A and B are shown apart, each in its own frame.
Chain A
Amino acid sequence: MRAELPGHQHEWLDGDAGPVVRPYTLTGGRVRPSADGFDLVAYVLAMPDPDLAAYPELHPEHRLLVELAGRGTPVVELAADLNLAVGVVRVLLGDLLTRGLVAVRQPPRATYLPDNDILKAVVDGLRAL
């Protein structure tokens, strides 16, 4: 038996949709990051030797993100590593970005990249696997 859901019965909420969660507790209720640009495969790179002690307001999850992004990690892998929803991780990354603790490198847009050299490298790489 499913527990009665709060508010209106929601068409998305069933077995396929997974458990009902309140994931934004961690973000203080914010659902949008303070900056756009966190594509799923955008690389997040922590600044070298970040002074996290200067930001007591940050959660442990923020600190973990900075640690994980030390060598450059895509957004989607950070979310998987922290076992947090991508939307939540984007909000937390926005906090880090506005404090200058991380930087983001966007993936190339398919409309003008990748160029033929990259495509050839992909085909060669796949053949060699």
Chain B
Amino acid sequence: MDSVRYDGERRGHRVPIALKILIAGGFGAGKTTLVSALSEVRPLQTEEILTGAGIDTDDVSGVETKSTTTVAMDFGRITINDDLQLYLFGTPGQDRFWFLWDELAFGALGAVVLADTRRLADCFPSIDYFEQRGIPFVVGVNCFDGSRRFGLEAVRRALDLDPEVPMVLCDARDRQSGKTVLISLVEHVARKRGEPVPAA
């Protein structure tokens, strides 16, 4: 589809490259909180529409008569420089909205799976999803107030994580802590490409 592409530079406009990072995890694991902590703007919300069967029919009129509903998606933005922006997307929490994940995950740089040690099993589906699709991810163990602290190795065993998948303790409310998680993700992506990012 070259016709829809646009060579912005040639016209004197510089359009940044936007990279997608998914923030996944179980319901209540802190996804929206982490997006809020990291985003340079108040997290924005958009909706995607769910339609009943019939959307895939070949009806040339394309008229949709089934009832529709929407599911909200949180997203935030981090401007790295004039040419580079990160978009953080909180994935919809309920399993039945998973088909939206395919769109979110398409072309994504990678994902952060937030784990809540009080409900560790809630993040299994997210981990399965990214493992099956070969999307690089890190696990952020969100340390809620009063939640029992487990050792990272105990959590890793419980999640049956591949040894190469980084795990980071974090506080989803804290921007610095969230940054550490994102940095560990990007470094992991670079390692998977066989080109480690040199330490600063």
Q: Which of A29, A45, A87 contacts B8 (CB 8 A)?
A: A45
Q: Which residue of B lies closest to A93 (CB)?
A: B4
Is B70 a contact of A35 with CB atoms below 8 Å? Answer: no
Which residues of A in the span 1-44 have a Cβ within 8 Å of any Cβ on B? 5-8, 10-13, 16-24, 29-32, 35-37, 39-43
Is A110 a contact of B80 with CB atoms below 8 Å? Answer: no
Q: How many Å from the CB of B80 to the closest CB on chain A?
A: 3
Q: How many residues on A have C-beta within 8 angstroms of the other chain's C-beta atoms?
A: 65
Q: How many Å from the CB of B94 to the closest CB on chain A?
A: 6
Q: Which of B19, B70, B87 contacts A18 (CB 8 A)?
A: B70
Residues of B within 8 A of A109 (CB): 107
Q: Which of A17, A32, A48, A76 contacts B75 (CB 8 A)?
A: A76
Is A39 a contact of B106 with CB atoms below 8 Å? Answer: yes
Is B67 a contact of A107 with CB atoms below 8 Å? Answer: no
- Asked whether A60 is an interface residue with its Cβ less than 8 Å from the other chain, the reply is no
Residues of A within 8 A of B108 (CB): 110
Residues of A within 8 A of B195 (CB): 116, 119
Is A72 a contact of B13 with CB atoms below 8 Å? Answer: yes
Q: How many Å from the CB of B183 to the closest CB on chain A?
A: 5
Contact of A85 with B48 at beta-carbon distance under 8 Å, contacts A39-B107, A116-B197, A123-B197 already known? yes
Which residues of A in the span 55-112 have a Cβ within 8 Å of any Cβ on B? 71-72, 74, 76-77, 79-80, 84-88, 97, 103-110
Q: Which residue of A lies closest to B93 (CB)?
A: A16
Is A105 a contact of B69 with CB atoms below 8 Å? Answer: no
Which residues of B in the span 30-45 have a Cβ within 8 Å of any Cβ on A? 44-45
Residues of A within 8 A of B71 (CB): 17-18
Q: Which of A31, A39, A45, A77 contacts B64 (CB 8 A)?
A: A31
- Asked whether B123 is an interface residue with its Cβ less than 8 Å from the other chain, the reply is no
Is B96 a contact of A12 with CB atoms below 8 Å? Answer: yes
Contact of A31 with B51 at beta-carbon distance under 8 Å, contacts A85-B70, A110-B107 already known? yes
A-B contact list, 14 entries, CB within 8 Å: A7-B52, A16-B94, A21-B70, A30-B63, A36-B4, A41-B19, A45-B15, A72-B16, A108-B17, A110-B110, A114-B17, A122-B86, A122-B186, A129-B179
B-binding residues in A (CB < 8 A): 5-8, 10-13, 16-24, 29-32, 35-37, 39-43, 45, 48, 71-72, 74, 76-77, 79-80, 84-88, 97, 103-110, 114, 116, 118-127, 129
